[in-house]
């Protein structure tokens, strides 16, 4: 089927547009985009194409004039809109149109090049977190669990979502767009290769950020030595092998890590909300990824229970 056949087929399938109001026009157009993109097998997000089209002169002119058009004019305009949309799907612009799709999937990982925006204090420390060596994380590619081979610094995500903390979901806008990090500038939903090229760029680490603040670096080292993810993993392994007999070992490690964090925060006057950057995420917070959670009995006893989720 040629492209004009496809458009003709869609025009017939979606009905005569002469009596549609602007809202119906938009609804039908989004239905068309959805079905055409599925048929063409493109991996592009629907929103990406929609945003690009909405910013085009063709779309804006048709939408603005639609209410004043004669029914016969509407049919011509509708066909023009579909043809133009089809062209956008086939030849998507190699530029970010700020549709926000990437920002909804996760907060970016930072590279050494991003140190400057931190030095200029444009990004507060409480918006950052460290993923430590050996920490289990879900791969953004296939959602599989992987254990990090080296640490990463990331922007936080909003609680209960995967959205970047700097993403405004109402306006679909990045609230720090001029200062967005390298990964966000390089991310190209229209070309997977551009993002892959970033793999050669050095990642940012706590050593870069805490450079010169020896006391914080020492705390980081001490915490990594006493509360490593390797220790936590081994404790869970023994728990499994012993069929629950060694639960106290896990609880002790969790309590120790928790105590360490609060002790450091109090003694060194470190705001609690920056601990996730200096020491990484707490063991307790990471438990669901190991399939557990901690509950507290009325007498204060802590219990480790399997997480039903």
Tell me which residues touch ligand SF4 (CB under 6 A). 102-103, 108, 155, 164, 166-167, 174, 176, 180, 184
Name the minimum Å distance from CB 166 to ligand SF4.
4
Q: Are 249 and 97 in contact (CB under 8 A)?
A: no
Name the minimum Å distance from CB 249 to ligand SF4.
39
Pick 175 or 242: Cβ nearer ligand SF4: 175
Could you write out the DSSP letters of every residue in 30-65? HHHHHHHHHHHT--S-HHHHHHHHHTSHHHHHHHHH
Pick 9 or 122: Cβ nearer ligand SF4: 122
Pick 100 or 280: Cβ nearer ligand SF4: 100
d(CA 202, CA 200): 6
Name the minimum Å distance from CB 117 to ligand SF4.
10
Q: Look at residues 112, 109, 123, 133 and name the one whose alpha carbon lies nearest to residue 211.
A: 112
Pick 97 or 184: Cβ nearer ligand SF4: 184
Name the minimum Å distance from CB 154 to ligand SF4.
10
d(CA 51, CA 22): 17
Structure tokens, 152: 């990463």
Name the minimum Å distance from CB 100 to ligand SF4.
7
Pick 174 or 216: Cβ nearer ligand SF4: 174
d(CA 166, CA 179): 11
Q: How far apart are the first and last CA of the chain?
A: 47
Name the minimum Å distance from CB 153 to ligand SF4.
13
d(CA 150, CA 69): 61
Q: At what angle do helices 57-65 and 71-90 cross, to 10 degrees?
A: 160
Pick 176 or 287: Cβ nearer ligand SF4: 176
Q: Which residues pair with 306 in a beta bridge?
A: 292
């Amino acid at each position: 089927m040629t492209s004009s056949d496809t458009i003709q087929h869609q025009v017939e399938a979606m009905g005569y547009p002469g009596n549609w109001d602007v809202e119906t026009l938009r609804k039908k157009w989004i239905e068309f985009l959805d079905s055409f993109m599925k048929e063409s097998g493109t991996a592009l997000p629907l929103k990406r194409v929609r945003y690009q089209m909405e910013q085009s002169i063709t779309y804006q002119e048709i939408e603005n004039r639609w209410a004043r058009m004669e029914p016969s004019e509407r049919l011509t305009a509708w066909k023009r809109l579909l043809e133009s949309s089809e062209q956008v799907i086939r030849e998507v612009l190699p530029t970010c149109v700020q549709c926000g799709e990437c920002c909804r999937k996760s907060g970016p990982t930072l590279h050494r090049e991003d140190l400057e925006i931190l030095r200029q204090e444009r990004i507060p420390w409480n918006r950052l977190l460290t993923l430590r060596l050996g920490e289990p994380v879900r791969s953004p590619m296939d959602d599989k669990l992987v254990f990090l081979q080296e640490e990463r610094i990331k922007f936080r995500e909003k609680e209960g979502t995967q959205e970047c903390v700097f993403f405004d979901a109402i306006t679909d806008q990045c609230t720090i767009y001029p200062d967005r990090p390298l990964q966000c500038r390089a991310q190209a939903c229209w070309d997977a290769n551009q993002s892959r090229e970033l793999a050669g760029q050095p990642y940012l680490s706590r050593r870069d950020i805490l450079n010169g603040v020896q006391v914080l670096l020492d705390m980081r080292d001490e915490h990594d030595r006493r509360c490593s993810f390797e220790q936590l993993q081994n404790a869970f392994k023994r728990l499994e092998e012993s069929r629950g007999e060694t639960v106290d070992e896990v609880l002790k490690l969790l309590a120790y890590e928790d105590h360490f964090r609060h002790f450091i925060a109090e003694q060194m006057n470190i705001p609690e909300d920056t601990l996730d950057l200096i020491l990484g995420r707490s063991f307790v917070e990471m438990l669901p990824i190991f399939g557990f959670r901690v509950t507290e009995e009325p007498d204060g006893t802590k219990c480790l229970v399997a997480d039903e989720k």
